Amino acid sequence: GESVGLHLPTLSVQEGDNSIINCAYSNSASDYFIWYKQESGKGPQFIIDIRSNMDKRQGQRVTVLLNKTVKHLSLQIAATQPGDSAVYFCAETNQGGSEKLVFGKGTKLTVNP
């Protein structure tokens, strides 16, 4: 069935380092992928998205990479800051199909000063 998973449930980095958060998805029909950030006590917040006709998209300090061959998604955060500490979720959907949004279980990122 459809599922989105993460390779690591926790990630700890030093302030200033780059962070890479990984995500595997299983539905080859998914054509739209999103990364969300959730801080403690708050709802998820959109970070960046990518459509299946792209393999890379850059935002401010964040980059998402999509490898459709191995069904893998990653979020790269440059110069990680303490404010980046949160749980990060990837999500997938098929905008041309059911449009259900399926979330991964999340990776907790901790930034050490």
Partner 1 sequence: EAQVTQNPRYLITVTGKKLTVTCSQNMNHEYMSWYRQDPGLGLRQIYYSMNVEVTDKGDVPEGYKVSRKEKRNFPLILESPSPNQTSLYFCASSLGRGGSEAFFGQGTRLTVV
Contact 5, 24 (CB under 8 A): yes
Of 9, 18, 12, 7, the closest CA to residue 70 belongs to 7
Q: Which of 44, 84, 109, 111 binds partner 1 (CB under 8 A)?
A: 44
What is the DSSP secondary structure assignment for residue 16, as one 8-state letter? T
- The residue behind tokens 């050490």 is 112
Cβ 75 to partner 1 shortest distance, Å: 15
Residue 82 or 96 with smaller CB distance to partner 1? 96
Residue 42 or 113 with smaller CB distance to partner 1? 42
Residue 16 or 51 with smaller CB distance to partner 1? 51
Contact 107, 13 (CB under 8 A): no
Contact 4, 25 (CB under 8 A): yes
Q: Which of 63, 103, 108, 110 binds partner 1 (CB under 8 A)?
A: 103
Rule CB under 8 A: is residue 60 a binding residue for partner 1? no
Binding segment (CB under 8 A) for partner 1, from list 18-26, 59-67, 71-79, 102-110: 102-110
Q: What's CA 32's distance to the chain center, in Å? A: 12
Binding segment (CB under 8 A) for partner 1, from list 10-18, 65-73, 76-84, 89-97: 89-97
